[in-house]
């Protein structure tokens, strides 16, 4: 889910009405900036509908084993001259796990693993 923070509760309600069971909230603007009430509202809605929530303000999920990739950063960025610049290469298929709180550290670890062929 990537919508403005104030719209997340509405989208979560709509997800609940459609029986969605998992939501990944990439949007920022919650407790990390002092907007605790809005984050609590999201938790209340998740509990009401039984929605498991990852986030808010998260990088997403990457699973090299299954191929699930919800990270909002593209593999490549296209430059104005049509050349490609590597943005965030993904690690190779494997069985190493990392659960991480920091998006910056997560990106650094993914980048390192990919560059080392891990």
For the chain, the structural domain boundaries read 5-54, 62-115
Rounded to two decimals, what is the model's pTM? 0.76
Q: In this predicted structure, what is the pLDDT of residue 80?
A: 58
Residue 67 — pLDDT band, cuts 50, 70, 90? confident
What was the pLDDT predicted at 77?
60
Summarize pLDDT for 49-66 with one digit per residue, the tens. Answer: 999 999 998 888 888 888
pLDDT value of residue 90: 77
Residue with more model confidence, 108 or 37: 37
Buried b / exposed e over 70-94, threshold 16 CB at 10 Å, is ebeeeeeeeeeeeeeeeebebbeee
Closest CA to 24 of 47, 10, 6, 3: 3
Question: Which CATH architecture best describes the domain 5-54?
Answer: 3-Layer(aba) Sandwich (3.40)
Which residues contact residue 76 at a Cβ distance below 8 angstroms, ignoring those fewer than 6 apart? 84, 85, 86, 87
């Amino acid at each position: 889910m990537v919508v403005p923070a104030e719209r997340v509760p509405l989208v979560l309600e709509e997800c609940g009405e459609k029986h969605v069971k998992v939501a990944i909230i990439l949007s920022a603007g919650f407790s990390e900036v002092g907007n605790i009430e809005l984050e609590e509202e999201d938790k209340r809605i998740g509990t009401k509908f039984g929605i498991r929530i990852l986030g808010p303000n998260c990088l997403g999920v990457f699973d090299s084993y299954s191929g699930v990739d919800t990270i909002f950063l593209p593999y490549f960025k296209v430059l104005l001259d049509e050349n490609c610049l590597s943005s965030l290469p993904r690690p190779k298929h494997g069985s190493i796990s990392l659960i991480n709180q920091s998006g910056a550290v997560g990106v650094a670890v993914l980048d390192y693993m990919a560059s080392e062929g891990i």
